[in-house]
């Protein structure tokens, strides 16, 4: 087939060579075996070099990139899930803390109320005690006043009575008996 084509074109160019000067001309379609061989060899070497050193590298890079992207997506997903869990946990803790705080506040309020009532009670007792004390003191003083009055009133009365009667009622024993009797009568009338 090829050689037929070549011989065909050779006759064609031979017809045309008249115009193309005197340099010896081959048909451009002629097979130059050296060139064929060199092209085969160079192509073969290039093919094996590319197959061995280029294609595996590119293919591996593409594969790695694919897995890296997929792995990245997965990692992001698990990170997201982790973050969600963490958030839920923190929210739980926050709720617990709020609960705790409310409880403590409630307790404090109860304690406060208790303290106030205790203090009030204490103050009342104290007040009562002070009032009691005051009453006792007053009673004592009254008693004292009564005693001293009794003596003084006796003296004054006998002195007054003596002046009125004109006789000395300096006889102490007697007069004091009279006074006592009088006072006892007064008390008895009371």
Where does this chain touch other proteins (CB under 8 A) — which range of 1-9, 82-90, 130-138, 177-185?
1-9
Cα gap 86→30, rounded to integer Å: 80
How many residues touch other proteins (CB under 8 A)? 43
| Residue 19 in contact with other proteins, rule: CB under 8 A | yes
The least distance separating other proteins from the CB of residue 78, rounded to whole angstroms, comes to: 20
- Could you tell me the two tokens for 16? 């045309």
| Residue 61 in contact with other proteins, rule: CB under 8 A | yes
Nearest of 158, 185, 184 to residue 171 by alpha carbon: 158
Is the CA virtual torsion 54, 56, 57, 63 positive or negative?
positive
Q: Which residue from 27, 155, 159, 176 is in contact with other proteins, where contact means CB under 8 A?
A: 27
Give, in order, the Cα–Cα distances in Å from 166 to each of 128, 155, 157, 158, 173.
Answer: 55, 16, 13, 11, 18
Report the site for other proteins in 66-105 (rule: CB under 8 A).
68
Nearest of 36, 28, 39 to residue 5 by alpha carbon: 28
Where does this chain touch other proteins (CB under 8 A) — which range of 64-72, 89-97, 108-116, 137-145?
64-72
Contact positions vs other proteins (CB under 8 A): 1-2, 5, 13, 19-21, 23, 25-40, 42-43, 45-47, 49-51, 53-55, 57-61, 64-65, 68
């Amino acid at each position: 087939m090829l050689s037929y084509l070549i011989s065909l074109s050779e006759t064609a160019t031979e017809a045309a060579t008249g115009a193309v000067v005197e340099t010896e001309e081959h048909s451009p379609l002629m097979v130059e075996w050296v060139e064929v061989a060199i092209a085969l060899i160079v192509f073969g070497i290039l093919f094996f070099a590319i197959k061995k050193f280029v294609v595996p590298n590119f293919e591996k890079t593409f594969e790695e990139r694919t897995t890296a992207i997929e792995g990245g997506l997965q990692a992001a997903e698990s990170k997201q899930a982790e973050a969600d869990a963490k958030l839920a946990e923190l929210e739980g803790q926050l709720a617990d803390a709020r609960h705790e705080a409310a409880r403590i506040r409630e307790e404090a309020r109860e304690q406060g109320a208790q303290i106030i009532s205790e203090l009030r009670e204490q103050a009342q007792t104290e007040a009562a005690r002070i009032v009691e004390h005051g009453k006792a003191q007053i009673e004592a003083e009254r008693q004292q006043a009564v005693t001293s009055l009794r003596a003084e009133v006796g003296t004054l009365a006998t002195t007054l009575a003596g002046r009125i009667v004109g006789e000395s009622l300096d006889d102490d024993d007697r007069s004091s008996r009279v006074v006592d009797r009088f006072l006892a009568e007064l008390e008895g009338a009371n």
